[in-house]
Amino acid sequence: MNDEKTLIRTEAEYEKALAERNKLQAELDRLTKKETQEEHKLATMQNRYKEQKRRSRNHRLIERGAILESLIPNAESYTNEQIKHIIKIAFGNLPGGLQGIHFPENLRDNS
């Protein structure tokens, strides 16, 4: 009789421990899934940021190229090396090089 009570108590403790284990496993699975989702969300945000930076840079380069072409007569007839040479000459004549450029008040960066 005593052995039977001990066996029943042991089985009850086992069932309780098994239920607790299953509960903890379910919680672990839920948190693991959430962590994976957050990692994907972060990767998506990082990719979006990189894409935005790339687009901004491309836009800036295109705009600046268009500005240069508008200031150099017949710019399309020159090679890239010739354009580079023209720009070096133009900036080389500034006192202090690029540091010698002084912008009017309305063109200064306010950041």
Mean pLDDT, 10 residues at a time, the chain of 111 residues: 74 92 98 98 98 98 94 93 88 68 74 50
Residue 53 has a CB neighbour count (10 Å cut-off) of 10
Domain span holding position 76 = 2-96
| Residue 106 counted as domain residue | no
| Residue 39 counted as domain residue | yes
| Residue 7 counted as domain residue | yes
| Residue 101 counted as domain residue | no
| Residue 65 counted as domain residue | yes
| Residue 36 counted as domain residue | yes
The domain total for the chain is 1
How far is the C-alpha of 12 from the C-alpha of 4, rounded, in Å?
Answer: 12
The predicted pLDDT at position 100 comes to: 62
How far is the C-alpha of 61 from the C-alpha of 91, rounded, in Å?
Answer: 18
Contact 18, 25 (CB under 8 A): no
Please give the helix or strand (H or E) that residue 60 lies within, else none.
helix 2-71
| Residue 24 counted as domain residue | yes
| Residue 50 counted as domain residue | yes
pTM: 0.61
Q: How far is CA 12 from CA 7, 8, 24, 54, 81, in A?
A: 8, 6, 18, 63, 85
